[in-house]
Amino acid sequence: MRAYADLKARLARGWNTWNVRSVLSHVLLPQGFALNLGIKEYRGGGYLKEALIGRLGEHDERITPGPRAYDDRYTELTLAWMALTLRIQSATDGDDLVLLVTPLAGQRKPATLVVEAGILWNRDGAVRRDGDVLVFEGPGGAARAYGTAAGIVEPNVAAQGPYLAMTLDGPLGVSTGKPRTVAEIAAIIAARKAEREAYIAGFGALADTYAPVMTCLAWDTIYDPLKDRVISPVSRSWSIGWGGYVLFDWDTYFAALLAAIDHKTLAYANAIEITREASARGFIPNFAAASGCTSHDRSQPPVGSMVVLALYRRFGDRWLLEELFEALLTWNRWWAAHRMVDGLLCWGSDPYEQITGNYWEYTGVGERFGAALESGLDNSPMYDDVPFDSARHLLMLQDVGLCAMYVMDCRALAAIADVLGRDAVAAELRDRAEGVAAKMAILWDEEAGIYKNRRTDTGALSPRLSPTNFYPLLGAVPTQAQAERMIAEHFYNPAEFWGEWILPSIARDDPGYPDNTYWRGRIWAPMNFLVYLGMRQYDLPRATADLVAKSRALLLKEWREHGHVHENYNADTGEGCDRGNSDRFYHWGGLLGLIAFMDAGYFDAPAGE
C-alpha cells in the first residue's frame, strides 16, 4: 500500500543509531554511511569497538542511558569500561550530526577516541581519510566528518576502515558538514538536550515514566537492511544472538503500542512488519529472525487485533486497518481451525516436514515444549506435567488465558470489520466470540471464585494459578460479581498475587514459585498489562489504581537505580538484576509504564503524529 511505503521511507532516513551491533555507531540512511566510535585504553591495551546496553561479562562495558530522542536529534549515554567513564552525546543541526565525548574518569595515560568511517550493509560507495577529514561518497550523496583535535598516530586498533584517532584528555567533538569547535558542538548539544528535557517534562506527572518507556524502545529500534525497514526488536542483545534481528509476535505488537504514546510512524511500522511475517499456514509466527528463520509450527498470544484497533482509535488512519485486516482475519480463523477442542482453545505445536538448521525452528516442534513456547510463557509451571496430544498436536489443557485473549481478538477484529463495512465477517467474529465466552462457563470454579485451566484428558480443573486466570476480564466474560470475587479472593490474596511487587507469573504458594527463573515466579510486564486491560472492562477502581501504581513503581525502581528496563523482575524484591537471564534493556518492560499512560487517558482520544 502506498501509504505505508511513504511512511516507511520517511522513517528510514537521517542520522540515528540504526546499527544493531553498537550504540556507539551513528548511521546516515539511506546511504548507510557510518561513524563508529571506538575507545583504546592503555592499562590493559584493550579496544572497545562495539557497545551494548546490559552486557554482563566481567570486563564488559556498562552503559547507563540518558535522555534521547527517537532519532539522533539528541542522544546521551554514560559508558564505564576499564576504569574509564565517558559521557557520549549526539545531536543534529539541520542535516548535520555532531558528537561530543566527555571523559568523566580516566586512566593515568589518557585513552584514545577512534572515529571509524564505514559503509554498512554492503551499500555502494567509498570512504577515505583526507588528512584529518573522513570522506564518504556514494550514489545517495556525499558527507564529510571532522574532529575537533589534531589526529594522532595509533595503528594498534581493530578498525577496518579509515579513521581519526584523537587523545581523550578532555572533551572531543566530531561534526559532519563543516568543521566545528568543541564549544560550538557543546552549544548545539546543550540546546538539543534542553529541548528534549522540556519535551519530556511536558508529560507532567508522567515524565519520569515516559523516560524509561521511550528511551528503551528508542535504543532498541534498528534498521533491517534485508527488508529495508525500521523495526523494534526486543533488545539489541537478543537481535545479535539471532543473527541480526528477531521479532517475536506479541512483543512486537506491544512495541507498537509503546511507540503510540508519541510516535505514530514507528507504531505503525512495528504493527505492520510483524503482521507481514505471517506464515504460509496463516498465523503470525512465534518468531521471525534474520536469515529467514521462523517458527513454522506455532504462533503466540493473539493480541494483534487489539493493538491495531487501539492504533486506529488513537490516530484514525483507515488505511492501517485495510493494510492488516485480511492477515489478522486469517490468523483469527487459524486459531479456531487448529487450536480448538470442544469450543475452547489449547496451545499447540504442529509438526512439519522441512526442518532447517536454526535451533528454535526444530526444538520442541510437535511436542509439549513447542506448545508451551506458543503460549509465550515458555517454562510456566502451569504446563508442568500436562500431557501432549500427539494426534491433535495440542496440550491437553483448555487454557483460560488463550480463550480469553481469543474472545478479545474476535471482538477487536469485529470492530475493525465494522469500520471497513465487512458486516458478514463482523457477525462471524462476534458469533465466535460469544461461543467461546459462553463455553468458558465450564472453566469457572465456583468454590474458588476464579476461572481455571481445564484438562482435556480428565476434565479436571487445574489448581495452578497465574495472572492468566484473570484474563477472562479482557473479554468481559465474568459478571461484575464474579470479577469482584476474582479480585478480592485472588488478586488481593498475599498467598497468591498480592504483595509489595506484583504480579508474579505464578501464584506465590505454587511449588514452582521459588524457582524465580523466567516464567516461574517472576513478574512480567505483559501479564500486568493484560490484567490491567481486563480490569478496565469492570468497575474495579481500587484494584485498577493499585495495579497502575505498583507497576509503575516496579519500572522506576530499576530505572532509577541502574538505567535498566528489564525483561522480568523478582516478585519478592522488585529487582531485575538478580537473574542473568533477565535482559536489562528489553522494551516490553515499558508496558509497566504504559499502564499509567492508558490510565491517564492517553489512548482515550484521537492524537496526532
DSSP 518-553: TTBT-B-HHHHHHHHHHHTTSS-HHHHHHHHHHHHH
Which cell is 155 given?
595503528
Please give the average per-residue pLDDT across 339-363, as a whole number.
Answer: 90
Strands (E), 322-453: 340-341, 344-345, 388-389, 394-395, 397-398, 444-445, 450-451
pLDDT tens digits, residue range 119-159?
999 999 999 999 999 999 999 889 999 999 999 999 999 99
- pLDDT of 198 strictly over 60: yes
Of 249, 475, 432, the C-alpha closest to 340 is 432
From its phi and psi, is residue 499 left (phi > 0), alpha (psi between -120 and 50) or beta?
A: left
Distances (CA, A) of 374 to 355, 370, 420: 18, 6, 30
Which residues, in sequence order, are CB contacts of 379 under 8 Å at separation 6+?
372, 517, 518, 519, 520
pLDDT, tens digit (0-9, with 9 covering 90-100), for 535-576: 999 999 999 999 999 999 999 999 999 999 999 999 999 999
- Helix/strand/coil for 128: strand
Q: Count H helices and E strands in the chain, helices first.
A: 16, 26
pLDDT at 114 over 80: yes
| pTM (predicted TM-score) | 0.97
Helix, strand or coil, per DSSP, at residue 141: strand
Task: Identify the weakest region by mean pLDDT among 142-156, 160-174, 342-356.
Answer: 342-356
- C-alpha pair distances (Å), 604 with each of 331, 411, 526: 27, 18, 20
* pLDDT the model gives residue 604: 87
Mind listing the pLDDT tens digit for each residue in 233-242?
999 999 999 9
pLDDT of 291: 84
Rounded CA separation 92/98 (Å):
6
Instruction: Give me 283's grid cell.
Output: 498465523
Residue 105, pLDDT score: 94
C-alpha cell at 103: 571523559
* pLDDT over 60 (residue 435): yes
Task: List, in order of start, the domains of the chain with CATH numbers.
Answer: 2-201 (2.70.98), 204-599 (1.50.10.10)
Helix (H, G, I), strand (E, B) or coil at 15: strand
Helices 541-562 and 591-599 meet at what angle, rounded to 10? Answer: 140
Number of C-alpha atoms within 13 angstroms, CB side, residue 587? 31
pLDDT of 355 strictly over 80? no
